[in-house]
A and B are shown apart, each in its own frame.
Chain A
Amino acid sequence: MGLDFSVIPKYLDIVLLGALWTIAITLGAAIVSFFGGILLAVIALYAHPVVRWPFRAFSFLFLGTPLLLQLFLIYFGLVQIGIDVPAFVAGVIGLGLHFAVYNSELFQTSILAVDKGQIEAARTLGLSRMQALRKVVVPQAVRDVIPPIGNNMIALLKDSALVSVIGVSELTLSAQRAIGSTYRPFEFYVLVAAIYYIINLGMEAVLRRVERRIQASK
């Protein structure tokens, strides 16, 4: 049995729809992980211990257990206690929080690396500590950490395939469905790999633009 790529056009719409879901999940989770990461970093560095410790436990949980398990827990587990989240939302939250914890580590380092004179200058103008963090320290910390955060976001794109296990019809699951009807795994997996690669290139292009914009203000 040779290769036959002619089966692809018939299923292309399903696969492309899957690609759109993958992009949507990745984008949603990236946003959650970005702002969640900043929030977690600020809490880890500045919050009262009463707040800090539960969050630290939470972070540890997310770092120390498989993402797959976290997705199961959010999607299947929460229903049991009456919280019924749609699969897409569960996927965005699960992926988003998981990567928020990773991003938080990066943000913490870069927040601490911002010159102490910055917060002092902001405070002497009368800004509160929170205002100074929000307007002066965090924007600079974010600026310095965009390249490694970008790497995390590309890892996030790849891990988004995991949400297929809770039934989100993203790229990988769509391919599996097409394969189920055609018995053509090689053709469809190659196609899907190519699509992941293209999305990846797109993300990298966006990242480079962001980096250039930032560079201009340095």
Chain B
Amino acid sequence: MNAQKPFIDIRHAKKSFGTLEVLKDINLQVDRGQIVAIIGPSGSGKSTLLRAINDLDPLSGGEIWLEDKQINMDLPHRQYERHINEVRQEIGMVFQHFNLFPHLKVRENVTLAPKMLKGLSDAEANALAEEQLTKVGMIERIDYYPSQLSGGQKQRVAIARALAMKPKVMLFDEATSALDPELVEEVNLVMKQLAEEHMTMIIVTHEMGFAESVCDRVLFMDQGVVVEEGPPEVIFRNPKSERTQNFLRKHLAGNQA
């Protein structure tokens, strides 16, 4: 096998909703341990791209590979379901609105999938939940229901839930944009910690400061294409494209207003 093969390889990704072309020939390669930020205006296709990676929004064309496995393989329905369920276990996803399971306590939110899918015993699953919740600083709330937590706490539990499946990649879709400003930092800290552990991550974000301090690469998307990509210091300090410059200028102005 080719040692140079990227960890995640997105080739000629296309996606339409009806007649609306949302992704137009996107290419993205991510190496193991790399952290990529995706920025861009609302409606540019950032979420759609992220959701295509674990097939929540299946592509209309193109290929997505995780290591030597094609994610959006062409298989008969039943086989495809089995395949995609396996693939998804390796990809953690964190949503803007947390999507914790409200009928389950924090502990059970974390243990549900490992117990069902990996056959962990209660004791093993509990140990795993305690380990992951300690990591995100939520161990004290292990027996709370999600409704009893703040937004920042919910998001940290959601991260622990994803990590409990020991994913190879973590996807974050605006993980902090539903949070009150004072709660953003606690979630950012957890993400930084993951970065230090060399977790491979793709992060859709509107927080340019965070992206600059954590990410190895930044992609600027607009209207379904990657307009520009590069190291954060280039994209944020010396963007070549005029569209990138305009976006950053507007974004900066918006943040100050």
Is B truly associated with A?
yes
Please indicate the chain A residues that have their CB under 8 angstroms from the CB of B93 in the complex: 121, 124
Please indicate the chain A residues that have their CB under 8 angstroms from the CB of B165 in the complex: 125-126
Interface residues of A in 191-217 (CB under 8 A from B): 217
Complex Cα–Cα for A122 and B112 (A): 9
B147: interface (CB < 8 Å): yes
- Evaluate contact between A126 and B117: CB separation under 8 angstroms: yes
B145: interface (CB < 8 Å): yes
Complex Cα–Cα for A117 and B101 (A): 10
Interface pick from B32-40, B64-72, B84-92? B84-92
Q: Of the candidates B102, B145, B161, which one forms a contact with A125 in the assembled complex, judged by CB atoms under 8 Å apart?
A: B161
Please indicate the chain B residues that have their CB under 8 angstroms from the CB of A131 in the complex: 116
Interface residues of A in 121-167 (CB under 8 A from B): 121-129, 131, 135-136, 139-140, 143
- Evaluate contact between B81 and A128: CB separation under 8 angstroms: yes
Q: Interface range on chain A: under 10, 10 to 19, 20 to 34, or 35 or more?
A: 20 to 34
- Evaluate contact between B145 and A124: CB separation under 8 angstroms: no
Please indicate the chain A residues that have their CB under 8 angstroms from the CB of B162 in the complex: 124-125
A10: interface (CB < 8 Å): no
- Evaluate contact between A120 and B56: CB separation under 8 angstroms: yes
Q: Of the candidates A117, A126, A217, which one forms a contact with B95 in the assembled complex, judged by CB atoms under 8 Å apart?
A: A117
Q: Interface range on chain B: under 10, 10 to 19, 20 to 34, or 35 or more?
A: 20 to 34
Please indicate the chain A residues that have their CB under 8 angstroms from the CB of B95 in the complex: 117, 120-121
Complex Cα–Cα for A124 and B158 (A): 12
- Evaluate contact between B99 and A118: CB separation under 8 angstroms: yes
Please indicate the chain A residues that have their CB under 8 angstroms from the CB of B54 in the complex: 124
Minimum Cβ distance to chain A for residue B17 (Å): 15
Residue of B99, B158, B161 most packed against chain A (CB within 10 A): B99
- Evaluate contact between A125 and B113: CB separation under 8 angstroms: yes
Minimum Cβ distance to chain A for residue B83 (Å): 11
Complex Cα–Cα for A131 and B91 (A): 18
Complex Cα–Cα for A117 and B86 (A): 20
Complex Cα–Cα for A136 and B100 (A): 10
- Evaluate contact between B116 and A218: CB separation under 8 angstroms: no
Complex Cα–Cα for A122 and B95 (A): 12
Q: Of the candidates A115, A126, A136, A218, which one forms a contact with B88 in the assembled complex, judged by CB atoms under 8 Å apart?
A: A126
**With A117-B99, A136-B101, A140-B102 given, is the CB distance from A124 to B56 under 8 Å?**
yes
B12: interface (CB < 8 Å): no
Please indicate the chain B residues that have their CB under 8 angstroms from the CB of A128 in the complex: 81, 85
- Evaluate contact between B103 and A140: CB separation under 8 angstroms: yes
**With A125-B161, A125-B162 given, is the CB distance from A118 to B101 under 8 Å?**
yes
A-B contact pairs, 7 of them (CB 8 A): A121-B101, A125-B113, A127-B113, A127-B116, A127-B117, A217-B103, A218-B145
